[in-house]
Amino acid sequence: MVVNTDICGIKVGDQYPAHVMGIINLSPESFYKGSISSPESVLDTAQKMVEDGATFLDLGSRSTWLFAEHISKKEELDRLIPALEALEGNVDAVISVDTMFSDIAEEALKRGANIINDVSGFTADPRMKKVVADYGCPAVVMASNKIPGDPIGMDSIIEALDSIIQTAEAGGIAPEKLILDPASGRWTEDKLPIYDFETLDDFERLKIFEKPLLAALSRKSFIGDVLGKPANERLYGSLAAAAIAVYKGAHIIRTHDVPETSDVVKLSGALRSRTSVVKESRYEVSVLEVKTPQDAGIAMRNIRATKTGSEIMQEKSIHFVLKIKNLTSTEALIIKQEMLARGGDAALARDAVSHETEFTDLLVMGTLLQFWRLARKLDSQARSLPLIAEMIRECISNRTNLEYRYLR
């Protein structure tokens, strides 16, 4: 499960330093007024970003902010083309264009753009897939279903990206050309900060797709909600979020603030350990980190396991350890025996085995499926074991309960 690819001559992957993508904002409607570049300043802005560490530049001439004023496609193109003409051949960076429309994407690619960044994930304009396939260019696709960024919660983000990948590849786009964006920020009224907390906290789940990951966190609304600050005062919050994203697996950080973000990316990347991979001849062994049954199902589908088989095995793929405190020795021994009967195991104090001590803590080890089966069995037992069964269920469920995880 290791990403190692080439994007327009730039090495991107788990064994390489993360990259910075500088935002060149051509839309006056943007939520962050301090980021707007004029046609006259765009070249200077781009060159300064490259000097400060950007290897990618992302040009956007239509604000995708939820409350931005709507503009026509003609106006979007009229803003974009002069900027592309100013940059062509004058900056040493990979040029990305942020647009949802295939005709604008095609014009941009003709004028030197290298990457298309489609925040709708190919949902706004069905022809976009054909343009990307025909030009053979990389594309950033953001998690979307019907409108940009509408998936709510990480499970929905994973599901949306999985669907986008399948339809893109069916449309002729090479698998290695896709870069994934999990849609951080308030893209819809229902997208509350708690969902962005989950996305960043569980960012490593996106590794299951084995594709380059882009984090677009710069000065986003969830940072403002935590800090109580407007967009122009969210730099430090953005840097903290960028550090976490890189540490959890992001390969590209999209930012308004290139020099500061470059330093953060270098340090957080140095702290991130490499995934264990061993290669010999045609063989490769790597550690696959799977956090949820949903992710396990995607991993199985990627190796072409059957759908039925994947569904059966999903809950066998998640393994963890629960600590249960202050059990009686008898309760602990019953739980251990029941877990052993289901293929798991448990550890308890040596004196508890011989009943020399009345109480003990217990470490219970097993798969998610084994824990569910254990809880069902304990429901019919004596003593306090039905209560323990309910506590086990609640403890496991808290792992995916957003209110429990993030509301203080």
The separation between CA 103 and the C-alpha centre of its own chain, rounded to angstroms, equals 29
* pLDDT-based confidence at residue 1 (cuts at 50, 70, 90): low
Provide the residue type at 119 as one letter: V
Q: 33-49 burial, b if ≥16 CB within 10 A, otherwise e?
A: eebbbeeeebbebbbeb
The answer to whether residue 249 scores a pLDDT higher than 70 is: yes
Spatial separation of the C-alpha atoms in residues 47 and 79, rounded to whole Å: 19
| Annotation: CATH topology of 4-273 | TIM Barrel (3.20.20)
Give the domain ranges of the chain: 4-273, 287-314, 319-404
pLDDT in tens, 299-353: 998 899 998 888 889 999 999 999 999 999 999 999 999 999 999 999 999 999 9
Taken as a whole, the chain contains a residue count of 408
pLDDT in tens, 80-138: 999 999 999 999 999 999 999 999 999 999 999 999 999 999 999 999 999 999 999 99
> Which pLDDT score is estimated for 38?
78
> Which pLDDT score is estimated for 34?
74
Three-class secondary structure of residue 161 per DSSP: helix
> Which pLDDT score is estimated for 29?
77
Provide the residue type at 69 as one letter: E
Q: What would the mean pLDDT of 246-250 be, rounded to a whole number? A: 97
The answer to whether residue 269 scores a pLDDT higher than 70 is: yes
- Look up residue 121 and give its two tokens: 């994930």
Spatial separation of the C-alpha atoms in residues 213 and 200, rounded to whole Å: 12
Going along 235-296, which residue ranges are E strands?
Answer: 252-255, 277-280, 283-286
Whether 254 contacts 216, CB under 8 Å: yes
- Average pLDDT of the chain is 94
| Annotation: CATH topology of 319-404 | Ribosomal Protein S8; Chain: A, domain 1 (3.30.1370)
pTM metric for this prediction: 0.93
- Look up residue 232 and give its two tokens: 């122009």
Q: Which residues pair with 13 in a beta bridge?
A: 4
Which residues are known catalytic residues? 220, 254
Q: Measured over all CA atoms, what is the biggest interatomic distance in the chain, rounded to whole angstroms?
A: 82
The answer to whether residue 293 scores a pLDDT higher than 70 is: yes
> Which pLDDT score is estimated for 193?
96
pLDDT in tens, 31-67: 777 777 777 889 999 999 999 999 999 999 888 877 7
Instruction: Name the pairing type of β-strands 345-348 and 283-286.
Output: unpaired
